[in-house]
Amino acid sequence: MQVLRPASIADALAMLAGGDARLVAGGTALQLEWAKGLPKPRSLVDIGQIGGLKGIVPAGNGLRIGALTTLGAVERDATVREELPLLAAALRATAGPAVRNLATVGGNVAGRTGCLLPALLALDARVESSSVVGRRTLPLSEWLRQEPGGEIIEAITVPVPDAHVRWTHRKIGLRAAFTPSVIGAAGMIEIVDGRVAAARLAVGGGMVTPARLGGAEALLVGQPFPGVDWNALRAAIEGEIVAPDDAFRSARYRRKVAANALVHGLGGDKTDAQPSRPSAPAARPATPPAGEIRLTRSTAGERWHIRPDGPAKIEGKLRYLTDHRQPGMLVGRILRAAIPHARIHSIDTSAAEALPGVAAVVTYRDIAGSNAFGIVVQDQPALCFDKVRYVGDAVAAVAAVDAETAERALGLIQVRYGPLPVVSDPEQALSPDAEPVHAAGNLQTSLGFERGDIAEGFARAAHVVEAVYETPRQMHGFMETEGGHAFVDTDGTLNVCAGGQYGLRDRLQLSRVLGLPEEKIRVVTSPTGGAFGGKDELTVQPALALLALRTGRPVRLQLDRAESVLAGAKRNAMKIRMRTACDADGLLLAQQVDVISDAGAYASLGPAVLETALEHACGPYVVRNVRTSGRLAYTNNGVCGAFRGFGANQMAYAVECQMDRLAAECGLDVLEIRRRNMRKPGTRGYLGQVVALSERLEEMLEAAAADPIWQKPRGPSDDGSEIVGTGMAMNYQGNGLGSLPPDPAGGALRLAADGAIEALYGLDEMGQGLLTSIRSAVAAALGCGRDDVRPVTGDTGRAPESGSTTASRGTFVVWKVAAETAPALAERILARAAQRLGREPATLAIAPGGIVERHSNSGELLLSFAALAEGLDPEELPFAATSFEFPKSDYFEGNARMIFAFGVALARVAVSRITGQVRVLDLSQHTAAGPILDLAAYLGQIEGGGLQGVGFTLTEHAAMQDGRYLTANLDSYMMPSIADAPESVAIYALEDLDAGDPFGPRGAGELGIGAVTPAIANAVADATGVWPHAAPFDAERLLDALGAAA
Amino acid sequence: MIETIAVAFRLNGADTAMQVPPEMRLVDMLRERLGLTAAKKACGIGRCGACAVLIDGRPVNACLLMAWQIDGADILTPEGLDALPEAAIIRSALAEENAFQCGYCAPGFTIALTALLREHLEADEPAIRAALEGNICRCTGYHSIIRGALAAVRAMADRSAPQPTHG
């Protein structure tokens, strides 16, 4: 590729005529085009140097905008804002602010997919362009009808409309901001003497062909205003728009929402429709539970601490494991199958190995141990040998001197495949004639549980509700993609440093694959840039390790986002069929639950996720007669596994919607039906297991009843464009791995040689605030200052066994280790201090900074920790360690949790009558997870989990078709943006424990996501009368439901 | 042999000249050639803002810019914010609010916020939200970032308020 820099338009045209050349203005589309597989041209023609193409000047009755003016510059232009508010609105809805500082007006128009086009069409803009035959100026609508190519846009001229116009603009996307366009619509009408004198309506953006809607315009012109026949106009617009289907939205939806947007925006309100209203929660005199606090910085006082890793992260100085650079370091890459299901006939790496700069190419032939990994069952090859089972399967890995060489080498590896039938549907995967993904068949796990007699329960029912709830293949979307670096020490120890959630288990898995003893491997897993369960399983570690061992050189490897989407684990997509019965008083009689879960190609933690889902099949409610079944099916879809919530949040979606639906059937308040069926403290758990004390479900119900969200407006919004509803859902989440798997924990404290109190934990800092929590717990238990504590985490070479940083277990482990080791460490520190000071240990105490006189009020240090440590030999430094199992229940016929955390989520939402899209206005979460170790970290977990839940509910799904992802990157995988964050969030905590409760703080990591989806679903039902049964909620179905209710 | 292109630019206040291959992007030049790893590459297609840098004072996605496009530009990476007094206030406000968790998006947010507050000292929540629409954070739910940004606005106002004189 070469870059050509013409000095004039004529030069540029000549270069274009040379063939295989592409114009570059801002260049913002290039990466997207290349990522989508469009060929790179031989020449890039950079027109950025040509003079006279930038800037905004008055021209005739309008403005002339030079083609190279950036969208940002136009947006900031005062005249544009004042005279062309329609264009300004369109600019704000185009891309994101930083992209707008690069992208140009000419580029947005020239690509013919730009989001400015509807607005420019409605404004009757003109295009000035040059080609080899000369210059011309055409109305944009006409220019768009010309065959593209062979010319360069020099400017767009936009007439300034007179003051008597009505205008509207709406871009309908997949989320609230920075979204691909589903369709954009813009309209402008001129009203003279009470009649529409002129009208311009237009659509476009993305895959919708930009066009004026001449037929609909003709219908408007001459009509009295007000008095337009809006229904006829809506029908005409819908009939006239030409829009395609794609995997995300139907053509019908695009036509409908554009028509609605234009009609609403130009003044044709749909206020005749009144929504149907289900049972409205009664005004309830209620007070929040005693002791509940709202978590905010301003009310936290001395409990608010700045996390120790915060400043370095904000300054960009914290070095993540993927940021490691050193001279001589190789760059690794992994070759992915890119085909969902195939036999491997041969792998030829010779050409890649011969490429200068390539240090190693590894395949299955380089694996000395067992070529299989997996946390539950070892069914996933580190590098495939006989077949590939999903597009992201790893086939080979390369280490080269730089990324470019590594990429070229990947292209030189020859793999011959024999394609196999693709198994893409979990239900079909279980049919007898399905192609087996694994030799033993596609049924990975089958589970069931039965109590009582559901036939008898359903026979007695006054009300039965049944639905199938579908949940998405949610992507973890950690901002730091999977990666890290590896090297071999001089003593032969292999160091693998890659984001993870349980270093010792990564080490065990690596030892199996590599055929190396665990003692010869050190795994570093912190700091990690987000995980959410997605780095619990091995990711890049096998490839990194093989390349480092093979070359003997340091190697770094990080997946780019597209590869992470392709290869990384996702949340198991589930279908939950739930049938629930109650009597006339709303008492639950029977429930039947059938789950089918998509494992993808390998099991990973899918079996445990399914079992956890079933463990939460009745939520916090008592159901005498219950039958559950769950099946986990192998398919050729992307791998799935652990994800925050771990099956419980999926099941809560179903359970809590069923409760609201039964309440509606019974005519009961949504709180009352829950109160009547809530499990009672002190009784055995759902599976019959012993559960921990300090249940707080009733308190959470009280908190829900007292929440101010119920006092906020509901029903149609002021402008009639939205309908507002409020809903709630209970939250009930088990902590720890459960009664069946090993769940080791532990840690240690020591006085380090420099005087720091080192807190050694084999847990990982992934963003959740482990370091600040450790400081809090250790300082509280030992009596030292927070700043005295130096956490040492996420390194098998330096920290002991603490178990995994998953399953909401870390907080408890942090607290328990501190509580168990601090007294012993204190005793040893004071004994040493007493020797030094020549005093009795009993007269001394630990305080921030060191040792003080017991009962002294002065706080004067007798001896600092540093001074104490300085005088001690290394083996004399005080140390205390502990190890224990995470608390386990007494039920072993299935996996059962003992410790639960509690909560309730309340959501107020607005459902758009224009688009069917849902906005979360207010999200309120009440939680009871015991004493809070670190208030800011806890708040962050609930807030962050909450928005991840909003994404699960409204926008996120990594859809697949025939074993291939329909989304490749963050341009179409829609994690919530800041514009999707609720207008207000309120987080509350109830911290107290029952007398005699030995377990201390519970985990908050999964609590934030647990009940968000059903709270939003119930709020949508409050607004529309319809419960969405598939997440992310289908805007088209909601729009139809609103239409039907009208 | 790939033909390279000569570029000269200001990088964090220092005049810099390099030869770059035509396909090299600014983010890769920073991270892989210059060892400046504060700008993160989290999507590579301009959709997350983690790689944001300031060019002539405005935030842009370093993953969308080809290295040859920066000829003549004045670039501030997140490392370069060290030299800006406003950035110190903003960083400190964000840190005090515990605005971020994993922190991978934090340098990009800080760049976007610095650009906003240098231009609009009085930015309110809608303006802050609009300026941060191009930055994705997966951990926090954004409200902590908004609170941090509002705290930064207050801190900037305190700094620019006339200081009482003692006499």
Ranges A25-39, A683-697, B139-153: which has the least confidence: A25-39
CATH 1.10.150.120 residue spans of chain B: 84-160
Q: Cβ of A478 and B132 within 8 Å?
A: no
DSSP bridge pairs for A847: A850
Q: Cβ of A101 and B60 within 8 Å?
A: yes
DSSP H helix total and E strand total for chain A: 32, 44
Q: Tell me A621's DSSP state.
A: B
Q: Cβ of A314 and B138 within 8 Å?
A: no
Select from B44, B46, B104 the Cβ nearest to the Cβ of A99. B46
Tokens representing residue A199 in the block: 């009208």
For the structural domain made of A275-316+688-735+898-1046, what CATH number should be given?
Answer: 3.30.365.10
DSSP H helix total and E strand total for chain B: 5, 5
Q: Is the pLDDT score of A279 beyond 50?
A: no
Nearest to A118 by CA among A74, A170, A192: A170
Find the mean pLDDT for residues A79-87: 97
Tokens representing residue A738 in the block: 């459960």
Which pLDDT belongs to residue A284? 63
Cα dihedral sign for A459, A460, A465, A468?
A: negative
Select from B95, B138, B145 the Cβ nearest to the Cβ of A975. B138
Q: Indicate which of B1, B45, B136 best probes the interface with A, i.e. most A CBs within 10 Å of its own CB.
A: B45
Q: Which residues of B touch A306 (CB under 8 A)?
A: 95-96, 98
Cα dihedral sign for A23, A26, A29, A32?
A: positive
Quickly name the fold that domain B5-77 has.
Ubiquitin-like (UB roll) (3.10.20)
Quickly name the fold that domain A744-885 has.
Aldehyde Oxidoreductase; domain 4 (3.30.365)
Residue type, A605: L
Nearest to A273 by CA among A1029, A1034, A1023: A1023
Q: Cβ of A947 and B48 within 8 Å?
A: no
Strands A521-524 and A494-498: parallel
The values of phi and psi at residue A344, to 5°, are -95, 115
Q: Are A150 and A16 in contact (CB under 8 A)?
A: yes
How do residues A984-1039 score in pLDDT, each as one tens digit? Answer: 999 999 999 999 999 999 999 999 999 999 999 999 999 999 999 999 999 999 99
Q: Which residues of A touch B5 (CB under 8 A)?
A: 3
Alpha helices (H) along A838-934: 865-870
Strands A151-159 and A62-66: antiparallel
By CB atoms closer than 10 A (0-12, 13-18, 19+), residue A508 is middle
Domains A1-161 and A167-268 alike in fold:
no
How do residues A751-773 score in pLDDT, each as one tens digit? Answer: 999 999 999 999 999 999 999 99
Q: Indicate which of B3, B92, B139, B150 best probes the interface with A, i.e. most A CBs within 10 Å of its own CB.
A: B139
Interface of A with B in 190-229 (CB under 8 A): none
Tokens representing residue A865 in the block: 């920790």
The beta strand positions in A140-194, using DSSP E, are 151-159, 165-173, 181-192
Nearest to B44 by CA among A497, A730, A33: A33
Question: Is A106 in a helix, a strand, or coil?
Answer: helix
In which band, very low, low, confident or very high, does the pLDDT at A226 lie, cut at 50, 70 and 90? confident
Strands A640-641 and A570-571: parallel
Q: Is the pLDDT score of A163 beyond 90?
A: no
Q: Is the pLDDT score of B160 beyond 90?
A: no
Share of chain A above pLDDT 70, in %: 98
Q: How many whole angstroms separate alpha carbon A4 and alpha carbon A102?
A: 19
Q: Which residues contact A567 (CB under 8 A, 6 or more apart)?
A: A334, A336, A392, A393, A394, A482, A539, A559, A638, A639
Nearest to A621 by CA among A682, A674, A666: A674
Tokens representing residue A102 in the block: 């690069």
Q: Is the pLDDT score of A803 beyond 50?
A: yes
Q: Are A787 and A715 in contact (CB under 8 A)?
A: no
Nearest to B32 by CA among A495, A318, A552, A401: A401
Q: Cβ of B69 and A1 within 8 Å?
A: no
Tell me the average pLDDT of chain B: 95
Q: How many whole angstroms separate alpha carbon A956 and alpha carbon A1032?
A: 6
Which pLDDT belongs to residue B164? 59
In which band, very low, low, confident or very high, does the pLDDT at A149 lie, cut at 50, 70 and 90? confident
CATH 3.10.20.30 residue spans of chain B: 5-77
Tokens representing residue A96 in the block: 């994101």
How do residues A594-624 score in pLDDT, each as one tens digit? Answer: 999 999 999 999 999 999 999 999 999 999 9
Task: Confirm or reject contact between A329 and chain B (CB < 8 A).
Answer: no
Tokens representing residue A1008 in the block: 């934030």
**Number of CB pairs, chain A paired with chain B, less than 8 A apart:** 249
Q: How many whole angstroms separate alpha carbon A222 and alpha carbon A327?
A: 75
Interface confidence, given as ipTM, is 0.97
Q: Cβ of A478 and B102 within 8 Å?
A: yes
Q: Cβ of B136 and A560 within 8 Å?
A: no
Q: Cβ of B140 and A35 within 8 Å?
A: no
Find the mean pLDDT for residues B136-150: 98
Q: Cβ of A92 and B130 within 8 Å?
A: yes
Select from B40, B55, B132 the Cβ nearest to the Cβ of A978. B132
How do residues B52-105 score in pLDDT, each as one tens digit? Answer: 999 999 999 999 999 999 999 999 999 999 999 999 999 999 999 999 999 999
pTM: predicted TM-score of the whole model, two decimal places: 0.97
The values of phi and psi at residue A729, to 5°, are -160, 145
Which pLDDT belongs to residue A857? 81
Residue environment code for A914-933, b if the CB has 16+ CB neighbours within 10 A, otherwise e: bbbbbbbbbbbbbbbbbebb
The values of phi and psi at residue A204, to 5°, are 160, -165
Which pLDDT belongs to residue A49? 87
Q: Which residues of A touch B42 (CB under 8 A)?
A: 479-481, 561, 970
Long-range contacts of A448-451 (CB under 8 A, 24+ apart): A448/A627, A448/A628, A448/A629, A448/A630, A449/A614, A449/A617, A449/A626, A449/A627, A449/A628, A449/A687, A449/A894, A450/A626, A450/A627, A450/A628, A451/A624, A451/A625, A451/A626, A451/A627
How do residues B113-132 score in pLDDT, each as one tens digit? Answer: 999 999 999 999 999 999 99
Q: Are A288 and A706 in contact (CB under 8 A)?
A: yes
Find the mean pLDDT for residues A551-559: 98
Which pLDDT belongs to residue A268? 85
Q: Are A691 and A685 in contact (CB under 8 A)?
A: yes
Find the mean pLDDT for residues A365-374: 98
Q: Is the pLDDT score of A338 beyond 80?
A: yes
Number of Cβ within a 10 Å radius of residue A425? 16
Find the mean pLDDT for residues A925-932: 98
When comparing pLDDT for A780 and A272, which is higher? A780
Strands B5-11 and B74-76: parallel
**Domain ranges (residues) in chain A:** 1-161, 167-268, 275-316+688-735+898-1046, 744-885
Nearest to A304 by CA among B147, B36, B13: B147
Q: Tell me B52's DSSP state.
A: E
Identify the residue whose tokens are 């001129």: A190
In which band, very low, low, confident or very high, does the pLDDT at A958 lie, cut at 50, 70 and 90? very high
Tokens representing residue A548 in the block: 């480092």
Which pLDDT belongs to residue A278? 42
DSSP letter for each residue of A350-419: HHHHHSTTEEEEE-GGG--S-S-B-SSS--B-SS-SSEE-STT-EEEEEEESSHHHHHHHHHH-EEEEEE
Maximum Cα interatomic distance, chain B, rounded to a whole number of Å: 71
Which residue is closest to A943 within chain B, CA to CA? B141
Which pLDDT belongs to residue A894? 94
For the structural domain made of A1-161, what CATH number should be given?
Answer: 3.30.465.10
How do residues A410-469 score in pLDDT, each as one tens digit? Answer: 999 999 999 999 999 999 999 999 999 999 999 999 999 999 999 999 999 999 999 999
Q: Which residues contact A589 (CB under 8 A, 6 or more apart)?
A: A457, A458, A460, A461, A581, A582, A583, A623, A624, A625
How do residues A573-598 score in pLDDT, each as one tens digit? Answer: 999 999 999 999 999 999 999 999 99
Q: How many whole angstroms separate alpha carbon B114 and alpha carbon B109?
A: 8
Q: How many whole angstroms separate alpha carbon A455 and alpha carbon A468?
A: 20
In which band, very low, low, confident or very high, does the pLDDT at A297 lie, cut at 50, 70 and 90? very high
Tokens representing residue A603 in the block: 């099991």
Q: Cβ of B91 and A940 within 8 Å?
A: no
Please state, in angstroms and as integers, the Cα–Cα distance from residue A917 to each residue in A414, A684, A980, B2, following that order.
Answer: 47, 42, 11, 49
Quickly name the fold that domain B84-160 has.
DNA polymerase; domain 1 (1.10.150)
Which pLDDT belongs to residue A281? 56
Find the mean pLDDT for residues A780-790: 98
Q: Cβ of A31 and B63 within 8 Å?
A: yes
DSSP letter for each residue of A747-797: EEEEE-TTS-EEEEE----SSS-HHHHHHHHHHHHH---GGGEEEEESBTT
Q: How many whole angstroms separate alpha carbon A441 and alpha carbon A435?
A: 8
Task: Confirm or reject contact between A478 and chain B (CB < 8 A).
Answer: yes
Q: How many whole angstroms separate alpha carbon A445 and alpha carbon A286?
A: 46
Q: How many whole angstroms separate alpha carbon A181 and alpha carbon A115?
A: 7
| Distance in Å, alpha carbon of A90 to nearest chain B alpha carbon | 14
Pick the CATH number of A167-268 from 3.30.390.50, 3.40.50.1100, 3.40.50.720, 3.20.20.70: 3.30.390.50
Q: Is the pLDDT score of A379 beyond 90?
A: yes
Which pLDDT belongs to residue B167? 42
Q: Are A307 and A772 in contact (CB under 8 A)?
A: yes
Tokens representing residue A354 in the block: 């011969």
